[in-house]
Chain A
């Protein structure tokens, strides 16, 4: 593997890792703060991708579609939290698993009813449909660089939100001790609703920005959900920093596995998870 190739694979693994982080961050926050395991998280990714495809056809621009889609998915998150999830924070994990598994079916069928079962492509927005030449024959698509940049920005924003703002302080207080935070006058129900909607929004945005390179297809949520589980398990549940490092690690192992060891590439990530479990059963950065 020469230098240009290595660079391309590195960029690819970082881009994949950052995309996984967007999903895993929501999953790990929702678990860490509300104690809910959410199997339907992958469905939000799928809904995001379909929204990007449908809205960009309606309004004629992907960036505008992403903004609209993000607002819609946050609204969906708030509605779901209020209707269903709020009542499951104190229930058994088993009940949460079943509830969210049922929701996967519901979302898949709603998607099928609304938009059909076809595979769709989404065009890369104008201005980003060029490639960065690396050598005479190799180049790197600008859109992927843009994706990585956007994910990094969002990750930074998330970090600042949680560690530097008053809202973030309340979120951390709620995660640390719910009753104590509540008795100090923090509206914990509102905090929960915000965190849930934030997680849904992040997952949907991940689906929307991935749509031009991944295409849009039924059941696209389930594979990514399982990868997110692996990321959350490796990083440690509840830890956003752990999710970031684990996501980058998973991105590296998966991308380079496909290049160097294509026969076993599908299993490498799970072996990584098994190794981490042997070493630290509660993940690298257990809170």
Chain B
């Protein structure tokens, strides 16, 4: 139906080497970057985790969710609710609770949405995310349109012993990097597990999978819930880092940005999602910092540049950045519908 997309499920050597170099760069970055940039890169890593969680649905299973931000935001809100106003809450129970809250929401909403296909799935995931958005937006008790503050970062102390302190920006950076690597490794393993193969099978031909005896509803619901949980992990980190959550975190634009990140890098292999998240955030900062030309403030109109960029990307390079590394004309990346 459409041009075959590069999936790069097996990453070429060169790309693996580049990823290893990227990891080295991330490990050593705090030694050269200022506080401001260390925080910025930590934020990009959080979004990379978010993008990878969406890639599990979008790239691997072929389910385009336009409401993934709901699960991202929910975990942030969960952290905001359980952190008292005057003291920190323990990392060791707030993290599992926040992730479980997102997973539960994804399970309940997933129960309704994975029955639908194609375009319906896109619309319905968006509508349910909007429901969650308005639940928080309209209710003063849940913070309303202003959102909530998280005054303290989660406390990592175990019975008086403090292995690391998240209030310290460096510790937080490495804490986030740990999760970035862990989620990537987990999802790469998952991709080649029988579960991951079944999800890829659903993407390529769900009817055939059903005919072969796979209960695709259960597989899709499991993928949706897992993706929600991982988005929750990212949202928890986001809430902890910024100390503030508002309904925009669950909004339509956040969800669309996540899709954009996955597309930008190239989908279905998780490495692309990371590359896409970093590139997208860099572009966003670039567009917002554009200098004024005369009286025309080009940076203020960043949405125009971003919009035109998205349109141009989708018209001219629909296979994403990692797709560009593959020579065009090679049939290897194409898949049978």
Question: Which of A's residues lie within 8 Å of B, judged by CB?
Answer: 31, 37, 39, 84, 87, 90-95, 97-99, 101-110, 112-113, 222, 226, 229-230, 232-233, 237, 266-267, 270, 273-274, 277-278, 281-283
B230 on the A face (CB < 8 A): no
* B307 engages A233 (CB within 8 Å): no
Contact status A92-B127, CB under 8 Å: no
Query: Is the CB of B185 closer than 8 A to any CB of chain A?
Result: no
B315 to A87, Cβ gap below 8 A?
A: yes
Given contacts A106-B311, A109-B304, 11 further A-B contacts (CB under 8 A): A37-B123, A93-B118, A94-B64, A98-B256, A98-B263, A99-B314, A113-B304, A229-B123, A274-B128, A281-B120, A283-B120
Does B197 lie at the interface of the complex (its beta carbon under 8 Å from any beta carbon of A)?
no
Contacting pair B128 A101 (CB below 8 A): no
Q: Quick check: B307 and A277 within 8 Å, CB to CB?
A: no
Q: Tell whether, in the assembled complex, residue B122 and residue A37 are in contact, meaning their CB atoms are under 8 Å apart.
A: yes
B318 touches A278 (CB 8 A): no
Provide the main secondary structure of the chain B interface.
helix
Q: Is B123 within 8 A of A102, CB to CB?
A: no
Chain A: minimal CB distance from B261 (Å): 11
Distance of B221 from chain A, by nearest CB (Å):
14
A39 to B308, CA, bound (A): 15
B residues within 8 Å of A by Cβ?
1-3, 58, 64, 66, 112-113, 115-116, 118-120, 122-124, 126-128, 130-131, 134-135, 137-138, 252, 256, 259-260, 263, 301, 303-304, 306-311, 313-315, 318
Count: A-B pairs, CB below 8 Å: 122
Query: Are A93 and B301 neighbours in the complex by a CB distance under 8 Å?
Result: no
- List, in ascending order, chain B residues with CB within 8 A of A112's CB: 301
Q: Are A267 and B135 in contact (CB under 8 A)?
A: yes
Q: Is the CB of A102 within 8 A of B119?
A: no
B220 to chain A, nearest CB (A): 13
Instruction: Pick the residue among B1, B134, B256, B303 that contacts A266 (CB under 8 A).
Output: B134
4 closest residue pairs by CB, A with B: A105-B307, A102-B310, A109-B304, A270-B131
Docked CA distance A233–B128 (Å): 12
